Amino acid sequence: MKLFPFLAVALVFSACTQTKQPAQDTPEEVVSKPDLADSTEPHLMNLHQLTYGGDNAEAYFSFNNRNLVFQSNNKEWGVECDQIFMFNIETAERDTVKPTMLSTGFGRTTCSYFMPDGGHILYGSTHLADSNCPPEVHPEPGGPYLWSIYEGYDIFVADLEGNITQQLTNEPGYDAEATVSPKGDKIVFTSTRSGDLELYTMNIDGSNVKQITNQLGYDGGAFFSPDGSKLVFRSSRPKTEEEIKTYKDYLARGLVAPTNMEIYTCNADGSDLKQITHLGKANWAPFYHPGGKKIIFSSNHFSDRGYEFNLFMINEDGTGLEQITTQSNFNAFPMFSYDGKKIVFSSNRNNNGTRETNMFIADWVE
């Protein structure tokens, strides 16, 4: 799952029973929300907060750049663990809206993404395995931060009224973390069908599944480059005998410890694999800059305490590391709009000292 090694911040997005809530129209008299832009973040202008309350993340633009689809466990929306929601960006920038829920209201969901037609989304869900929220993992005191790799996850397509129109995967084990190529022809996702957490691609209709990575370790959170020719992803690849044993033991229990991850790229067919970062600690949530030659990602490599995450940009060859965000102790899940004009990301900023994580949108300045 494209989830979060924030250690002390420990967000866990999930989903449980609930009926769908309609989006509310924004009153015309409501003015724009405050501009939260900070001079220490010169790439971000006209920064607006989009959500308030709960944990909100993995927001992704529609192909026409007008809507966002994301996951949230906001209790005020009637959910107990993550469900998938959608709202119109222009409306959300002006008012506090209750978005439309697009997932079933059962099980736990993750990693939604718009399909090319703009009228459908895909997302991972456990609702066929169990209608209840799956149990959350609680690490032992002093132990590593852990993610659960729920075997019940499969990938589904739904329309914008929340009706499931297709099930794209039905293999035993974990299938999730699906995203769509900007070309509109391919989907990349993570699966345990080989016995390890590897990347796969398939056609937009679920056909022609191909394994892309094949080295031991957790390969996940993949996105296509703007021209669809490459993939960028995070990976935790154990090397020593002790690391390999620990990784395999956790995976056998449906767990991973994502505290050491680096950013990799490869061609869309898996060739020309390259490790881009060598920073140590957790480097994750990568996404290609619209120019196709740089990658933005979240990292805690600079943090003595380990749980401060900021956004960084790096060239494809691993040079030119630049810090993008400076505010709050958690910033992650960046995505550029398809026209390159805006960026959306999740952050703990402006949460009045709580652990709430909300979504923010800004104009991107080169």
* Per-residue pLDDT tens over the stretch 59-110: 999 999 999 999 999 999 999 999 999 999 999 998 887 899 999 999 999 9
The yes-or-no verdict on residue 5 having pLDDT over 90 is no
Q: How far is CA 135 from the centre of its chain?
A: 20
At 31 the pLDDT is 55
Report the alpha-carbon distance of residue 218 to residue 192 in Å, rounded: 10
Report the alpha-carbon distance of residue 162 to residue 120 in Å, rounded: 9
Q: For 241, which DSSP code? A: H
pLDDT bracket for residue 311 (50, 70, 90): very high
Q: What is the mean pLDDT of the chain?
A: 91
The yes-or-no verdict on residue 47 having pLDDT over 80 is yes
* Per-residue pLDDT tens over the stretch 160-212: 999 999 999 999 999 999 999 999 999 999 999 999 999 999 999 999 999 99
* Per-residue pLDDT tens over the stretch 223-272: 999 999 999 999 999 999 999 999 999 999 999 999 999 999 999 999 99
Candidates 94, 95, 52, 33; CA nearest to 354 is 52
Report the alpha-carbon distance of residue 267 to residue 5 in Å, rounded: 26
At 3 the pLDDT is 41
Query: What domains are defined for the chain?
Result: 44-364 (2.120.10.30)
* Per-residue pLDDT tens over the stretch 102-119: 999 999 999 999 999 999
* Per-residue pLDDT tens over the stretch 344-362: 999 999 999 898 999 999 9
pLDDT bracket for residue 15 (50, 70, 90): very low
